[in-house]
Structure 1
């Protein structure tokens, strides 16, 4: 990732899915975060099914603080982390990854993105 892409101090949250860059909710939430001077930005990352394993195995060493999974990858992400249910998001802490799990697939809209960012901020203290 290009270090000039984001201003210093901005925490990056990835939105991972097959068409994540087209997600309008991320654009709405980013505008709201900027208006509130919250140093978090959501970036869409388009991932093909075949590239999912490569993407998720590199999260630990990436500059991304958290990853929110689009519906098509929520079950697969849960399987990768050996958890039950559907994995809406993972975020980094010193101890490793922490998970936000659900019993069913979660639609990614602006309300869901805000809830996850708030939850990560409360639990992680870094967002």
Structure 2
């Protein structure tokens, strides 16, 4: 605890008080929302739209098999983004943005959504 200059005290960090008990082994931290609450509804909606765009793009017969595989591997992250670690979401979006850019006009919707999501989650 420290004095913030005006006579009141400020506490930063964990404070643990144990009164009795046995086999007390640690602290459980619950820092933040769980599940779909971890992302705002507008971000979840954009991920859903991107999943639809990627599914549609994967049907394009002009795609190479390796590109189709990359799109398929991205879908689980797009369909359940709140269950994924932020770094994995970001890496998936970067991969999709790069792939969509290389695919040209057919991938424009996916590229736009991926870039929009990257701006939101990096902002």
Aligning the two structures, in what range does the TM-score lie when normalised by the shorter sequence?
under 0.3
Higher RCO, 1 or 2 (CA under 8 Å, sep at least 6)? 1
State the TM-score, normalizing by the size of structure 1: 0.26
Q: Which has the higher strand share?
A: 1
Q: Give the structure-2-normalised TM-score.
A: 0.26
More helix by share: 2
